[in-house]
Amino acid sequence: MFKETDKQFSYETSILREGAYINAPATNPESAPIYMTTAFNVEDLDDLYERYDEKGFCYNRNRNPNRSALIDLMTYTEGGEASIACGSGMAAIATTVISLVAGGDHILSDMTLYGETIEIFTDILEKYNVESTFVDFTDIEAVKAAIRPNTKLFYTETVSNPMITVPDLKTIADLAHENDAYLVVDNTFMTSVGAKPISFGADVVVNSLTKFANGHSDAVCGAATGKQELIDKIYHNQVLLGSQADPFTSWLVQRGMRTMELRVEKQMSNATKLAKALEKSPYVKKVYHPSLESHPQHELALKEFGSEYKCGGMLSIVLDDDKDKINAFMRKLNLAHYAMTLGGYRTTLSHPVSSSHYDMPEEERLKIGITFGMMRISVGIENPDELIEDFLQALEVFA
Ligand SMILES: Cc1ncc(COP(=O)(O)O)c(C=O)c1O
């Protein structure tokens, strides 16, 4: 609270006060200001307690207006009751999972997940006596067989990374609940534009907002959304762990999300067109995209996502296991370029063996189906015909 006073201070004191506050009316700007402050000044102890009661703003690790704005947007878009916003997708996943399990509990997880999520389960949680089992979540009998009396958490992705499998979320949510367990779903690849896991019964949905949601490849951020009671628990731990999103990042991501629907709709439609074209190429051994009839969960995807042009902006292709040819292909592409991220407005490529699944032993990787020749494609909002033409000319290196 800026204290107006006629009292004159020395230079060394005044330099701390002059110009530190905006004194002219500056309410209701068209775009929300960024609250780059660690704390908010309070008038007195009554004011302080009122802020506690109203969940107002005191200290940045607890609450910040830009983070709250992003939280409101996430809660609305995912259709939950409450959210937290975190410094990364991994922070959201870690904060959520450790809040929902305790020593002695068991996690039942899909086997094809973002590699570092698997490492949270194996490298971190195992140390705290939380065991995890990894099974193919598209095989409901395998999921049922792996349930234990102490299974507390089922974990999957709406569309998995990088195999692009689609689990039956409703059936898995029912199974989790029949066994007194929670279902957590990572919705990063689809965003709420493409799918709303909470509507299928997920208790918490986690998102790396770094990807499609922000869409501009300029901020690392994450969120967890779900029932109020669960988010309260997760929020309590977030404050202790300090995994919150900073004000500028929160502001950037809420700005990016304003155009999320326009971007993701086009990315999904472009992905379907590209997948269909690549499937016809003699140089592509396999295309994984749920829009294709060859995809094992094609029918389920149509049911979960609504149409073949809404099956997500991510696809994977399998090329020859030939590093020199893959290098030549990458160099010949004019539009798609390699980037260790996804979901940006331009088409990018990644190589799961050298990135997301770099630390996974080869034997386990191959069991999932991740070969050296697999490339993952995050489709952008380019003109789809130009994108297809560019891929097809670059694939000629495999002739
Ligand atoms: C499906 C999925 N979940 C979570 C993450 C982690 O997100 P972040 O890099 O924002 O921590 C990623 C990162 O690529 C991802 O692909």
Gap from CA of 379 to ligand 1 centroid (Å): 16
Same domain, 250 and 268: no
Residue among 161, 165, 211, 246 whose CB has most ligand 1 atoms within 8 A, to mutate: 211
- Length reported for the chain: 399
- Cis peptide preceding 296, ω within 30 of 0: no
In a domain, 39, yes or no: no
Same domain, 101 and 199: yes
Residue 352, CB-side half-sphere exposure with 13 Å CA sphere: 34
In a domain, 24, yes or no: no
Structural domain boundaries, residue 294: 261-398
- pLDDT at residue 329, as a whole number: 98
The mean pLDDT value for 218-247 works out to 98
Tens of pLDDT, residue by residue over 152-204, are: 999 999 999 889 999 999 999 999 999 999 999 999 999 999 999 999 999 99
Residue among 208, 243, 351, 370 whose CB has most ligand 1 atoms within 8 A, to mutate: 208
The CATH number assigned to the domain holding 80 equals: 3.40.640.10
Burial class (CB in 10 A: 0-12, 13-18, 19+), 293: exposed
Gap from CA of 159 to ligand 1 centroid (Å): 13
Same domain, 119 and 92: yes
- pLDDT at residue 124, as a whole number: 97
Gap from CA of 323 to ligand 1 centroid (Å): 26
Tens of pLDDT, residue by residue over 137-146, are: 999 999 999 9
Tens of pLDDT, residue by residue over 328-362, are: 999 999 999 999 999 999 999 999 999 888 888 99
Tens of pLDDT, residue by residue over 64-104, are: 999 999 999 999 999 999 999 999 999 999 999 999 999 99
- The answer to whether the CB of 348 falls within 8 A of the CB of 341 is yes
Q: ∠ CA 242-245-247 to the nearest 5 degrees?
A: 120
The CATH number assigned to the domain holding 308 equals: 3.90.1150.10
Gap from CA of 343 to ligand 1 centroid (Å): 10
Same domain, 237 and 335: no
Angle, helices 228-241/89-100, rounded to nearest 10 degrees:
110
Gap from CA of 41 to ligand 1 centroid (Å): 36
The mean pLDDT value for 362-382 works out to 94
Tens of pLDDT, residue by residue over 9-35, are: 999 999 998 888 888 888 899 999 999
Same domain, 61 and 190: yes
Same domain, 82 and 228: yes
Residues with CB under 6 A from ligand 1: 88-90, 114, 157, 161, 186, 188-189, 208, 210, 220, 222
The mean pLDDT value for 116-128 works out to 96
Gap from CA of 186 to ligand 1 centroid (Å): 9
Same domain, 175 and 282: no
Same domain, 212 and 78: yes
Gap from CA of 221 to ligand 1 centroid (Å): 9
The H-or-E segment that residue 91 falls in is: helix 89-100
- pLDDT at residue 106, as a whole number: 98
- The pLDDT of residue 123 is above 80: yes
- Where does a domain end: 233, 257, 281? 257
Confidence category of residue 118, pLDDT binned at 50, 70, 90 = very high
Gap from CA of 281 to ligand 1 centroid (Å): 30
Residue among 90, 158, 216 whose CB has most ligand 1 atoms within 8 A, to mutate: 90
Q: How many CB atoms lie within 10 A of CB 55?
A: 10
- Where does a domain end: 257, 286, 311? 257
Count of domains forming the chain: 2
In a domain, 252, yes or no: yes
- Where does a domain end: 223, 257, 291? 257
Same domain, 60 and 150: yes
The mean pLDDT value for 280-306 works out to 97
- Which residue owns the Cα nearest ligand 1 atom 15? 114
In a domain, 14, yes or no: no
Confidence category of residue 2, pLDDT binned at 50, 70, 90 = low
Atom of ligand 1 nearest to the CA of 189: 1
In a domain, 36, yes or no: no
Tens of pLDDT, residue by residue over 242-279, are: 999 999 999 999 999 999 999 999 999 999 999 999 99
The overall average pLDDT reported for the chain is: 96
- pLDDT at residue 358, as a whole number: 87
- DSSP code for 122: I
In a domain, 26, yes or no: no
Same domain, 184 and 266: no
